[in-house]
Amino acid sequence: MLRLGKREFGTHEPVIMAIVNRTPDSFYDQGATFRDEPALARVERAVAEGAAIIDIGGVKAGPGEEVTAEEEARRTVGFVAEVRRRFPDVIISVDTWRAEVGAAVCEAGADLLNDAWGGVDPGLAEVAARYRVGLVCTHAGGAEPRTRPHRIEYDDVMADILDVTVGLAERALALGVPRESIMIDPGHDFGKNTRHSLEATRRLDEMAATGWPVLVSLSNKDFVGETLDRPVKERVVGTLATTAVSAWLGAQVYRVHEVAETRQVLEMVSAIAGHGRPAVARRGLA
């Protein structure tokens, strides 16, 4: 059972997390949702297309201009409050590694803290415990926030992923974060080269076997682009293929840009696996 905000999800119920970047320099949309009204329109569309979670980020993941904690909070806190006012039932997630930003967005109504940098600030899990909100525990290979991997090596990348993410999840639980609100994330691209991310995908069933819900953030990432030799705007097909494999291997939560397309993929995989059923069933009955 996964419980976030006002929602509960069964073990085999896929959950879509829609990305809303509150940054002027996003790798994917180059700041299309930096201003309030386009960002709110994005939230409305994502919810209509089937997203249960809105993931709000105030800092670009990759290298770029420095963004202080104060500026990150300025970009996210008021927006969280407005999304909560307009969409009282949606699950609001904030992508941050900073405890002070985490506390501020929780005060504004966030339900989930998405720690994409692997617990680099141990205080963030303490914030999640204090506010009784969810937490995403991610493997980032020990990388500092907003840095790219350089000649990183693992004896066994999945063993390292499991050691880090399960350790972070167990620490969060011990601090008081509700067990049913903790997820683990292999951290595709974060502290990994393309082969590491492909292997992490291939072995996702090992993460699912831990019993912690698995979140994957695959959308248009570099490992997809390098595998297919495609630029950012031409990675949707590769992303959806990876999504289908991840769903088959037991992932539950999907952080995405393309909500409607992801929903169709997840519904198809669920039906093939026997967890879902066709929306209609007319063939052979007339």
> Annotated active-site positions, please?
221, 255
The Cα–Cα gap between 179 and 112 comes to 13
Which candidate, 42, 86, 78, 41, places its Cα nearest to that of 58?
78
Torsion angle, CA of 70/83/137/179, rounded to 10 degrees? 130
Q: How many CA atoms lie within 13 A of 97 on its CB side?
A: 18
Cβ pair 236, 258 in contact under 8 A: yes
Torsion angle, CA of 53/140/245/202, rounded to 10 degrees? -160
Q: What are phi and psi of 62, to 5 degrees?
A: -85, 175
The contacts of residue 210 (CB under 8 Å, 6+ apart) are 162, 166, 184
Which candidate, 20, 31, 231, 215, places its Cα nearest to that of 135?
215
The Cα–Cα gap between 102 and 282 comes to 49
Which residues lie across from 4 on neighbouring strands?
7
Residue/partner pairs of 219-223 with CB below 8 Å, 24 or more apart: 219/19, 219/28, 219/255, 219/256, 219/257, 219/258, 220/28, 220/257, 221/188, 221/189, 221/197, 222/189, 222/194, 223/188, 223/189, 223/192, 223/193, 223/194, 223/197, 223/198
Dig out the tokens for 148 from the structure. 């790219």
Tokens 């109504």 — which residue? 109
